[in-house]
A and B are shown apart, each in its own frame.
Chain A
Amino acid sequence: GIQVEQSPPDLILQEGANSTLRCNFSDSVNNLQWFHQNPWGQLINLFYIPSGTKQNGRLSATTVATERYSLLYISSSQTTDSGVYFCAVGEGTYKYIFGTGTRLKVLA
């Protein structure tokens, strides 16, 4: 099956700093999403981005499917950005394989 690796595993930032999270996957995929898991455990959908670039406020994401990676950019980080960020890639039509996540802590 597809392997999904995320880096870095842990990240500590000062409020206002920028960061880039990376997701590498081992095979071609048709679906890819980024999620933020908040302290209550909820998975918040950030981007559905099987290819190309999208932006939503301070967040943006780029997926280069031919090179099997996706990047999530967080600019001007805030304490509310803290949590775990997961990349999930579609294996076939019927399931997502999640990465192990990047745990982000933003300090005030």
Chain B
Amino acid sequence: EPEVTQTPSHQVTQMGQEVILRCVPISNHLYFYWYRQILGQKVEFLVSFYNNEISEKSEIFDDQFSVERPDGSNFTLKIRSTKLEDSAMYFCASSPGGYTGSYEQYFGPGTRLTVT
């Protein structure tokens, strides 16, 4: 069964460094998402991406964040200058949309980001 994959599974970085989290959505899916979950809290929406542009973003998704689909398979989240409060689990998701009409979201296993 197709699945969303994410790399790395765990990343440790120093405050102020740039990180790139990578995701491979399910092939043929048209909608892509990033969410984050601070330890012990609920999952929060960051951004959605469709047709090579951002569809919607939350207040959390400020200028230090960016997303990119550099090729036909990868979807990345970049954090330019990490802060301690960026420590969280980051989930990538994708949904088919399009002619299927389904917006069921399929989540990857997550990348745990630790900022020291």
Contacts and interface: CB of A to CB of B under 8 A. Distances in A.
B55 interface: yes
Interface stretch (B18-26, B62-70, B75-83, B105-113): B105-113
A98 B44 contact: yes
Contacts of B91: 43
A98 B42 contact: yes
A31 B91 CA distance: 19
Contacts of B97: 93
Nearest to B106: A45
A35 B106 CA distance: 10
Q: How large is the interface on A (under 10, 10 to 19, 20 to 34, 35 or more residues)?
A: 20 to 34
Nearest to A32: B104
Contact of B43 (A45, A90, A93, A98): A98
Interface residues of B, number: 25
A107 to B, nearest CB: 22
Q: Name B's interface SS.
A: strand
A94 B102 CA distance: 12
A48 B110 contact: no
Contacts of B37: 41
Interface in A60-76: none
Given A41-B89, A42-B110, A99-B42, A94 B55 contact: yes
B52 to A, nearest CB: 14
Nearest to B54: A94
Most central of B50, B89, B104, B112 by chain A CB within 10 Å: B104
Interface of B: 31, 33, 35, 37, 42-45, 48, 50, 55-56, 58, 89, 91, 97, 102-107, 109-110, 112
Interface of A: 30-31, 33, 35, 41-43, 45, 48, 86, 88, 90, 92-101
Given A43-B107, A86-B42, 19 more contacts: A30-B103, A31-B104, A35-B107, A43-B43, A43-B110, A45-B104, A48-B104, A94-B50, A94-B55, A94-B56, A95-B33, A95-B48, A96-B45, A97-B45, A98-B42, A98-B43, A98-B44, A98-B45, A100-B42
